[in-house]
Amino acid sequence: MFHKVTGINIDTNSVIVETDSQLEAVQEIQFDSLISTVPLDVVINMTNGEDGSLKNMKDLSSQLVYSHTHMIGIGLKGQPPQMLVNKSWMYFPDLILLSIE
């Protein structure tokens, strides 16, 4: 079961999660360390606390620029060419459209 994180309190080292959106039920979960894969500006904006630098962090995080990535897996039969045997991925920064017929 997954719950939506609705806030982070840095004063109490806790994450507030929505456990039932229809009942507006929430739960507070304590943490020692917090690791997130959510974009930094989103994490900063859901963070609350009395730290005076938090407002400054929110202002600075609104200026962050980031890119998006779409990962596509393709399975191929046969053996790869020798030059690709030890490669696990390839990067095509200018690829816009891939058409497979």
The residue behind tokens 């390839």 is 90
Report which DSSP code applies to 54: H
* CB of 58 closer than 8 Å to CB of 49: no
List, for residues 41-92, the tens digit of each pLDDT value: 999 999 999 998 999 999 999 999 877 777 777 777 888 888 888 877 766 6
25: enclosing H helix or E strand: strand 25-30
User: What whole-number distance in Å separates Cα of residue 37 and Cα of residue 24?
Assistant: 25
User: What whole-number distance in Å separates Cα of residue 31 and Cα of residue 12?
Assistant: 9
The residue behind tokens 């609350």 is 48
Q: Is the pLDDT of residue 94 over 60?
A: no
List, for residues 24-53, the tens digit of each pLDDT value: 788 899 999 999 888 889 999 999 999 989
Q: In the numeric block, which tokens belong to residue 71?
A: 């990962």
Q: Is the pLDDT of residue 101 over 50?
A: no
